[in-house]
Structures are given as structure tokens and as C-alpha cells.
A = this chain, B = another copy of it.
Amino acid sequence: MLIQTATHGTPIRPPVAPPLGALPQLRHDPVSDAFQAAGVPIRFERDAEIYGEGEPVEHFYQVVSGAARTYKVLSDGRRQIGAFHLPGDVFGLEAGSTHAFSAEAIVGATIRMASRSTLETMAARDVALARDNWSRTAEKLQQAEGHMLLLGRKTAEERVASFLLEMSERVHNVSMVELPMSRQDIADYLGLTIETVSRTFTQLESKATIELPSSRRIALRNRSALQRLNA
């Protein structure tokens, strides 16, 4: 079931200038500390599966460099990306026994993997770590809730605006955003088609809200226009 494309046991230093989230900004908190201690960095190639839906939860993950996506697919192939994971982000932190999502590298990525049982043993002793696990999961839940509002109630233009602001915020609000993901990934994250995403970008560009020097680089020219769309 799992197509293992990862190069195991090869702790590789993060590349000098990864596309999005150039600064790993590893938070100094119990979970990050635990990852420093118990986590092993593994290299995943572009599109490599990190884990699959339904598989037992054996590890927790933290992006060191690169980017990952977690998603669900319907039987006929329709895909919904639940979240993008950028450097510093922890994912796969599930309390249940099996993964509810699949995870893949979006680009070549280095991901720190910590064994679930180790982290759980540590959490059973360290109250702060246990609390932090909860806190991180609760944070993901809030993100998911915000994303439900987007998927259920926002127009295409509003979705794209929200996406751009989110990406910009996640790389310290720089106005030139370098996207690691394809239009298909964006579409599947926003619940749209690639054509609609593309058209919306063009439309925002014609209103001088953004600029598209290349398909993966987007300059936010009128942030308040985007914020207005963010409702």
C-alpha cells in the first residue's frame, strides 16, 4: 500500500534556500524539543508518500525543509487537501490508531520523524509535553474550522484571496510569495478546479491586487483588497 520512495536513514542538511518558508523557525516548545531529541530527519522526494490513509500511526512528523500536503480522496479520485505543511510545522499528530489522511511531499523535503510510542511515553511523564500535544492538535482543529468556512461559504475569489494571505502570513508576511505547490494542489486545497484558480489569479492581476512574475511567484500588491475579500 505504501509506495516507499523515501531515502531512509539519510539525515540530510536542509537546503540553503528552500522555496517557501526559507526560515525553518523551529519553535522552542516541548514538542519541538522532543523532535530535536527523538526525531530523525528523513529525505522525501517530490510526490513521495509519507504515510497513507488507514495506516497505523507509527510516527509524528515535523517539516525541516520543503513542504508536504495531507489529503483525502474519494473513490473516484476527487481529492481534498486538508492542509499544507511548511518548515517548522508538525503533522500526523493523531491520537487515534490509524491515519485519517494521506501525506506526501510536495517538493523534495526533509522531514523529522519521531516515533509515536517514544513521544507518547515522554508525554506520559512530561505534563508540559502532553499539554503541548493537545494544544497543537487544537490549533490544527481551529485551522480546519476556518477552512470549513472557506470551503462551505466562500466564492472562488474569496478562497484565492484567503489562500494568498495565508501563505504570505506563513512566511512572515513578505509580499513576494514563492509557492511550492502546483495549481492542482491549490485547486484541491480550495475546493476549486485549476482553471478557476488560474482565472482568479488573472482576474486579481488585472485589478492590480497581485502580480504574477511567474506561475509560482506571486507578489501581493494590494493587501487590503485581499483582506476585504477575506470577509
Closest CB in chain B relative to A201 CB, distance in Å:
19
Report how far A190 CA is from B140 CA in the complex, Å: 21
Copies of this chain:
2
Report how far A133 CA is from B132 CA in the complex, Å: 11
Indicate if the CB atoms of B151 and A148 lie closer than 8 Å.
yes
Indicate if the CB atoms of A138 and B74 lie closer than 8 Å.
no
Cβ contacts A131-148/B at 8 Å (1 or 0 each): 101110111111011111
Cβ contacts A68-85/B at 8 Å (1 or 0 each): 000010111011101000
**Which of A92-100, A166-174, A177-185, A217-225 is found at the contact surface with chain B?**
A92-100
Contacts of A190 in B (CB 8 A): 152
Q: Which of B76, B140, B231 contacts A76 (CB 8 A)?
A: B231
Report how far A78 CA is from B154 CA in the complex, Å: 9
Chain A residues with a Cβ under 8 A of chain B: 72, 74-76, 78-80, 82, 93-96, 100-101, 123-124, 127, 130-131, 133-135, 137-142, 144-149, 151-154, 188, 190-191, 231
Given contacts A101-B145, A144-B145, 20 further A-B contacts (CB under 8 A): A74-B153, A74-B154, A74-B231, A75-B231, A95-B134, A95-B137, A95-B138, A95-B139, A96-B135, A96-B139, A123-B131, A124-B127, A127-B127, A127-B130, A130-B134, A137-B141, A147-B148, A151-B151, A152-B190, A152-B191
